[in-house]
Structure 1
Amino acid sequence: MVNTSTTPLIAHRLTRVEINVDCGEAFGLWEGGPDEELMPMIDAANIACGGHAGDPVIMRRAVALAKKYGVKVGAHPGFPDKAGFGRRRLDMSAEQAYAEMLFQVGALKAFLDEADVPLNHIKPHGMWYIMMQNNEDVNDAAMRAIAHFKVPVYGLPNTLHESGAKKYGIPFIPEAFVDVNYTTEGVLLGVPGSRKMSPEEIYVATRSLGKEGLVPSVHHVPVDVGVRGKPFTLCLHSDFKGCRENVAAARRAVDEVNKELYSESL
């Protein structure tokens, strides 16, 4: 069940399972995902900030769409690599990474301020997010910049995402994935290395995450990703073919889980 208010609220903790989707991932004449079709089905939109995707016009439009549907807005900064869609490894110094994070999130914040919409959270994109789960230097530079905005960060439990947030006093929102895979050790692979998940597989995986905290790994082995027994936010990707069906399947499962486990918060 999504927020029906026209003014999204900042959530420093979750009381139910939510769905977040990456939005605004277009550039100039290059089309991105079907944002307006997805917005009614989601709780939070991670809006690209001009690094891996997005430009000023698209960012502003995405903010307006989120406000229209009462969807919370997070910044989705990515490696400045549009050709690789932020999914290639990029080496930056700590100074560059810190400044890039401030630059991208600050740009989105300007459009949010104009629309009178609060910045709800920050969630790095693609390879930046992947590297932050186990690279201390990459994580520290990013978290120092994220702390400046005084909003929660979405991240993977029991990784440097969580401990890095704690180090800088950043509220941490646990996140899990069902349209990309984890290794059998619980390390997120991201899009490179994952197998394609069907809507039915996404529905089953989402139910399993919500009820048992388990999700099938890339090798189909159930793996605990640190969200057992507590609310979390579930990420899906708008640039995948079939994303509408994927999000609809996840929405159905999330609504069932919330009704069964967190009905008092609905």
Structure 2
Amino acid sequence: MVNSTSSTPHQLQKVEINVDCGEAFGFWQCGPDEELMPLIDAANIACGGHAGDPVTIRRTVALAKKHGIKVGAHPGFPDKVGFGRRVLAMTSEQAYAEMLYQVGALKVFLDEAGVPLNHIKPHGMWYIMMQNNEELNDAAMRAISHFKVPVYGMPNTLHESGAKKYGIPFIPEAFVDVNYNSEGILLGVPGSRKMTTEDIYQAAISLGKKGVVPAVDHSLVDVGVKGVPFTICLHSDLKTCRENVAAARKAVNEINQELYNRS
């Protein structure tokens, strides 16, 4: 059994599940947030960039509060047409200001509801590009540092080193409903193969016990979470999201009971 008693306040005590929520916009709905909340530990709420609007943000904060779910900001490229999953060119100044703007928008609604901001996790292509784009990563991390909360990111990438540079607590994250390539680079939804619920369950078990996960070509890749609590991300916009999250929850509960003696 892993001993996690020496963890700092910002470190996880067990493996957790985070899901992207509040990704509706106006009359367009996306994701069964109400059904997913009881199955997750943290909700990443869209901040109006790739999805979300003021009413949706406020309603999603209230929903998370109702279920006692931790809330994180999920800022994305300001590209609702592409759902934040297209490459968008931004200067450092634009990326810095956009991060402050979007997280600040969510923070107002959290303050109103009396809910703390738990973390920040960039969305989609912004998150993917921050793995290896130093200029974009640095601008985003400088902005994130103002909020004094952890950032969720991929270990052994600029996510981790960029957070360290600005003194931001880093929470390691891994994915089970989308794929990495054979070199451990996250591909995201557009570049991934379809994952079944059994695939997701087995991937989560493998991550929790061995720190490796099948890549898009089925080779095993080490994503830097072996032997430490981490958070698993799933996407609420996939058609099978309910089943996907339920499969991951089953795996995570088994892992936590076996390795961390926690439910």
Q: TM-score, normalised by structure 1?
A: 0.95
> What is the alpha-carbon distance in structure 2 between the residues aligned to residue 196 and residue 120 of structure 1?
31
- Aligned match for 1:13, one of 11, 36, 39: 11
Partner of 1:257: 255
Runs of 4+ deviating beyond 4 Å:
none
Structure 2 CA distance for aligned equivalents of residues 94 and 207 of structure 1: 39
Deviation at 1:192, TM superposition (A): 1.6
Q: Match for 2:111: what amino acid? A: D
Alignment-derived partner of residue 92 in structure 1:
90
Alignment counterpart, residue 75 of structure 1, candidates 39, 49, 73: 73
What is the total number of aligned residue pairs between the two structures? Answer: 256
2:104 pairs, out of 103, 106, 114, with 106
Q: CA deviation at 1:150?
A: 0.3
Distance in 1 (CA, whole Å) between partners of 2:94 and 2:228 is 36
Counterpart selection for 1:215 from 213, 216, 221? 213
SS across alignment from 2:207: helix
Q: Runs of 5+ in structure 1 lacking a partner?
A: 1-10
CA distance in 1, matches of 2:107, 2:162: 23
Query: Quick one: percent identity of the two aligned structures?
Result: 80
Post-superposition Cα deviations, 1:63-96, rounded to whole Å, max 9, x if no partner, equal 0000000000000000000000000000011011
TM-fit CA distance, 1:225: 0.3
Q: What is the root-mean-square deviation of aligned Cα atoms in Å?
A: 1.0
Which whole-Å CA distance do the structure 2 matches of 1:262 and 1:46 have between them? 24
**Amino acid corresponding to residue 199 of structure 2 in structure 1:** E
Match of 1:57 in 2: 55
Cα distance in structure 2, aligned partners of 1:126 and 1:193: 12
The aligned runs of 1:1-266 (5 Å cut-off) are 12-263=10-261, 265-266=262-263
Q: Which amino acid aligns with 1:64?
A: A
Secondary structure at the aligned position of 2:95 is classed as helix
Counterpart amino acid of 1:52? H
Q: Which amino acid aligns with 2:246?
A: A
